Amino acid sequence: MKHIAKKRFGQNFLTDQSVIASLVAAISPQADDLMVEIGPGLGALTKPLLQKLKLLHVVEVDRDIIAWMQKAYVNCAISIHNADALKFDFTSLGNNLRVTGNLPYNISTPILFHLLDNVSHITDMHFMLQKEVVERMVAAPSTPAYGRLSVMLQYRLQMDYLITVPPEAFEPAPKVESAFVRCVPHATLPFEAKDEALFAKVVLAAFGQRRKTLRNTLKGLLDDNGFTALNINSQLRAENLTVANFVSIANYLR
């Protein structure tokens, strides 16, 4: 199919066969897996996955690609969902869901947060993302890449940076390097927030002005007595706190 990539959908199609083989090996699909691919595009991952699975679900928003898929996969065990991944109810597919895809870089973070809302139904996730985003996802405290995304995802997920993918592996080539990441929900949360909405509020406030100290960013939420009780230095910045620290602040406030 000759398809012109649409900028509004953030389309960059993976074409490097050696990279594709590495991604499929990392995913390690098994025949009975309940798997859904977000943004199947022109089938770089779809085709090899179909060779391994009894059924593959795909979520695609581009109607032109949907029309092509309906012709290209006539005799294949594929269930095509013409939907926006940001609005799609992944829980409707069942439990023990495995999610993968080359996510549109312009909406990758909102998709990740949407999937967090469905995480109780998910076994694992494997995504191609902008390298910078993956570095932020897996970043350790007190490093430049560590931020709100790191904390919110690490609270729920164990994540591993797997493969760096150069721009020339795509058509058209993006202006940035990409990376493949594995995300596995924690079977039991290492540190459990009693009120997850409050935990999210604390993290958002702390990183809202990341160059300011916690005493300033958490003003109105946590006072000096709170910092003392939690044994947290109020002169630190948000990037210096661990996930456990943020959970302890939220639980203290509750």
> Which residue did the predictor score with more confidence, 209 or 174?
209
**Mean pLDDT for all residues in the chain:** 93
**Which domain-ending residue is among 134, 158, 185?**
185
Q: Which amino acid is at 209?
A: Q
Same domain for 124 and 216, yes or no, is: no
Give percent of the chain with pLDDT exceeding 90.
Answer: 85
Do 164 and 137 form a contact (C-beta atoms < 8 A)?
no
Copy the structure tokens of residue 235.
């002169």
Q: Are residues 79 and 167 in the same domain?
A: yes
Cβ(57)–Cβ(37) below 8 Å:
yes
- Residue 190 resides in a domain: no
Closest alpha carbon to 232 in 15, 16, 244: 244
User: Please, what sign has the CA dihedral across residues 146, 148, 152, 153?
Assistant: negative
Do 160 and 236 lie in one domain? The reply is no
Question: Residues 125-165: pLDDT tens digits?
Answer: 999 999 999 999 999 999 999 999 999 999 999 999 999 99
Give yes or no for residue 1 having a pLDDT over 80: no
Measured in whole angstroms, the distance separating CA 39 from the mean position of its chain's CA atoms is 14
Range of the domain at 227: 196-253
pTM metric for this prediction? 0.91
Q: Minimal CA–CA distance to 230: which of 254, 211, 195, 208?
A: 254
Q: What is the pLDDT of residues 95-111, one digit of tens each?
A: 999 999 988 888 899 99
| 136 located within any domain | yes
Mode of pairing for the β-strands spanning 56-60 and 97-102: unpaired
Q: Are residues 202 and 103 in the same domain?
A: no
Q: Is the pLDDT of residue 58 over 80?
A: yes
Label residue 41 left, alpha or beta by phi (over 0 means left) and psi (-120 to 50 means alpha): left
Show which of 185, 212, 240 is a domain's final residue. Answer: 185
pLDDT tens, position by position, 189-226: 999 999 999 999 999 999 999 899 999 999 999 999 99
* 106, two tokens: 């312009």
Residue 106, pLDDT score: 83
- What pLDDT is attached to residue 186? 97
Q: Are residues 59 and 144 in the same domain?
A: yes
Q: Do 80 and 168 have their domain in common?
A: yes
Number of helices (H), then strands (E), belonging to the chain: the values are 10, 9
Is 223 found in the same domain as 129?
no
> What Cα–Cα distance (Å) separates residue 121 from each residue in 56, 89, 108, 223?
16, 11, 20, 38
- pLDDT at 2 (0 to 100): 47
Q: Is the Cα torsion angle 118, 67, 43, 104 positive or negative in sign?
A: negative
- Judge if 88 and 142 occupy the same domain: yes
142 and 218 share one domain: no
Q: Is the confidence at residue 59, as pLDDT, over 60?
A: yes
Domain identity same for 87 and 158: yes
CATH of residue 218: 1.10.8.100
229/175 same-domain check: no
pLDDT score of 4: 46
The band of 124, judged by pLDDT with boundaries at 50, 70 and 90, is very high
157 secondary structure, DSSP code: E
> Counting beta carbons within 10 angstroms of the beta carbon of residue 179, is it exposed (0 to 12), middle (13 to 18) or buried (19 or more)?
buried
Q: Report pLDDT for 165.
A: 95
